[in-house]
């Protein structure tokens, strides 16, 4: 094989873990591990949901040779030069796995490489992109017929990412349980940023206390976001550090880190409930064992949907100051000295009116264009959601129905291997010399 460069463009934490990870594995399986022949590079673009750790996560994948962080992206897009002045081989393929679909068009032209785009819901720039791998046939059905030859239905990369972690839980883990009629596991995903955690942590812990009091056989776990350390997470359960927690009638919780390194850290609430903190990432196999999850809006809902895990999506609005963390003009207005709180109230009110009119905030609901998973919004209290959780647990056929609907709206598996096949085909078409 002639020497070739594969350049993967991606952006946020969700894309790096659920799209990039399975694709680079499949590329190595398809094209081999000889780095003198096939080199895999990743360039990240800015993302509003980024944590700053995406480059380190991408570089941790053994299949990847080099990574450039998002802070240097615009220089690369405009001038074609990376921060470390990477060299590029004469043959190559640009693979789009997150960001703006115009990026592979520009970068592919600069490097003289073929371009492959993975498109979940919409494919753009049909005349300038060489190949598209799409999640479902309906994405290809929306494009002009003259571009149909560029499209291949590959399936759902998120399902692929979830499937590759199907190994058993670590035998040393206290959560290595097999779900049964006597044991119920509930996952809690309160968010990864302060604005969500301030409400999400006390709310979900309060719900857990309510459910546990009625069903003591229930276990609870928080898969800790890779961008969070345990102390930061625990601070949002501390009444002295997070005054908002009292709004939910929550009595607080403390962090317990066991001396035995093989045991999990815990959050222990004032009522004596313990919630295990799971730090291994991705936590797909753990989540797949959950009978239901409590989650905030965002990428979590997409990942749970891909796993077919029932969920209740929470959007509490008790904290007006949460609006100050928004990006763009609303965030700027909400932070104006002396005017921030009035603007935050207006933004909050307008947002609630818009959401109530528009609906469908969770990704599975957006995909299906109907409310498959419950979305609870407003001044949510733990008892309200706790009663809903208990209803699901005592009526498992409702969970089965939700699970079946979630599986029906996602694409097929095997997407990463099909994308690797497309890339292999495009390598054969790439020119000997860069333009």
Q: How would you write the chain as a 3-class SS string?
A: CCCEEEEEEECCHHHHHHHHHHHHHHHHHHHCCCCCCEEEEEEECCCCCCCCCHHHHHHCCCCCCEEECHHHHHHHHHHCCCCCCCCCCCCEEEEECCCCCHHHHHHHHHHCCEEEEEECCCCCCCCCCCEEEECCHHHHHCCCHHHHHHEEECCCHHHHHHHCCCCCCCCCCCCCCCCCCCCEEEEEECCCCHHHHHHHHHHHHHHHHHHHHHCCCEEEEEECCCCCCHHHHHHCCCCCCCHHHHHHCCCCEEEECCCCCCCCEEEEECCCCEEEEECCCCCHHHHHCCCEEEEECCHHHHHHHHHCCCEEEEEECCCHHHHHHCCHHHHHHHCCCCCHHHHHHHHHHHHHHHHHHHCCCCHHHHHHCCCCCCEEEECCCHHHHHHHHHHHHHCHHHHHHHHHHHHHHCCCCCHHHHHHHHHHHHHCCCCCCCC
Q: Which structural domains are found in the chain, ordered by start?
A: 4-156+412-427 (3.40.50.2000), 184-409 (3.40.50.2000)
Per-residue model confidence (pLDDT) at position 64: 97
Half-sphere exposure of 46 (CA within 13 A, CB side): 8
Determine phi and psi for 164, rounding to 5 degrees: -75, -5
As averages over each run of 10 residues, the pLDDT of the chain (435 residues) reads 92 85 95 95 88 88 96 93 94 95 95 94 91 89 89 84 48 43 84 88 97 96 89 95 91 91 89 94 85 90 88 83 45 50 53 54 84 91 96 96 88 86 90 46
pLDDT at 68: 96
End-to-end CA distance of the chain: 21
* Contact between residue 135 and residue 122 where contact means Cβ atoms under 8 Å apart: no
Its pTM stands at 0.69
Give the model's pLDDT for residue 349: 53
Residue 317 near residue 379 (C-beta atoms within 8 A): yes
Contact between residue 22 and residue 161 where contact means Cβ atoms under 8 Å apart: yes
**C-alpha torsion 180→183→184→188, nearest 10:** -130
Alpha-carbon distance values, 39 to 205, 265, 403 (Å): 46, 39, 40
Structure tokens at 164: 């590759």
* Residue-level pLDDT at 44: 96
**Owner of token pair 């053994």:** 62
């Amino acid at each position: 094989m002639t020497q070739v460069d594969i350049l993967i463009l991606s952006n946020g934490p969700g894309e790096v873990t659920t799209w990039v990870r399975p694709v680079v594995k499949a590329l190595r399986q398809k094209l081999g591990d000889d780095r003198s022949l096939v080199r895999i590079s990743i360039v990240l673009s800015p993302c509003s949901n980024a944590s700053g750790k995406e480059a380190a996560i991408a570089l941790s994948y053994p299949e990847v040779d080099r990574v450039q962080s998002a802070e240097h992206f615009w220089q690369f897009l405009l001038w074609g030069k990376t921060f470390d002045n990477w060299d590029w081989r004469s043959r190559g393929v640009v693979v789009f796995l997150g960001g703006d679909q115009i990026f592979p068009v520009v970068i592919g032209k600069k490097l003289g490489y073929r371009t492959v785009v993975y498109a979940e819901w919409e494919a753009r720039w049909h005349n300038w992109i060489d190949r598209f791998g799409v999640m479902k046939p309906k994405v290809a059905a929306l494009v002009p017929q003259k571009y149909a030859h560029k499209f291949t239905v590959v399936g759902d990369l998120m399902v692929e990412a979830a499937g590759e972690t199907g190994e058993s839980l670590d035998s040393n883990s206290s959560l290595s349980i097999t779900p049964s009629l006597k044991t119920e596991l509930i996952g809690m995903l309160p968010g990864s940023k302060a604005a969500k955690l301030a409400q999400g942590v006390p709310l979900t812990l309060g719900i857990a206390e309510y459910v546990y009091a009625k069903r003591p056989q229930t276990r609870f776990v928080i898969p800790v976001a890779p961008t969070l350390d345990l102390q930061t997470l625990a601070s949002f359960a501390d009444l002295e550090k997070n005054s908002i927690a009292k709004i939910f009638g929550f009595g607080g919780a403390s962090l317990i880190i066991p001396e035995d390194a093989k045991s999990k850290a815990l959050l222990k609430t004032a009522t004596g409930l313990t919630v295990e903190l799971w730090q291994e990432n991705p936590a797909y196999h753990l989540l797949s064992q959950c009978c239901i999850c409590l989650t905030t809006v965002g990428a979590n809902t997409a990942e749970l949907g891909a796993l077919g895990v029932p969920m209740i999506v929470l959007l509490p609005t008790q904290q007006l100051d949460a609006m100050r963390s928004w990006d763009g003009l609303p965030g700027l207005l909400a932070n104006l000295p002396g005017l921030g709180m009035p603007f935050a109230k207006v933004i909050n009110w307008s947002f609630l009116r818009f959401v109530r009119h528009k609906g469908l905030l969770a990704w599975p609901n957006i995909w299906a264009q109907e409310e498959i998973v419950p979305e609870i919004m407003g001044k949510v209290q733990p008892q309200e959601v706790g009663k809903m959780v208990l209803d699901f647990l005592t009526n498992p056929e409702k969970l089965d129905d939700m699970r079946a609907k979630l599986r029906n709206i996602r694409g097929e598996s095997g997407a990463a291997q099909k994308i690797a096949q497309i890339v292999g085909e495009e390598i054969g078409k790439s020119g000997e010399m860069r333009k």
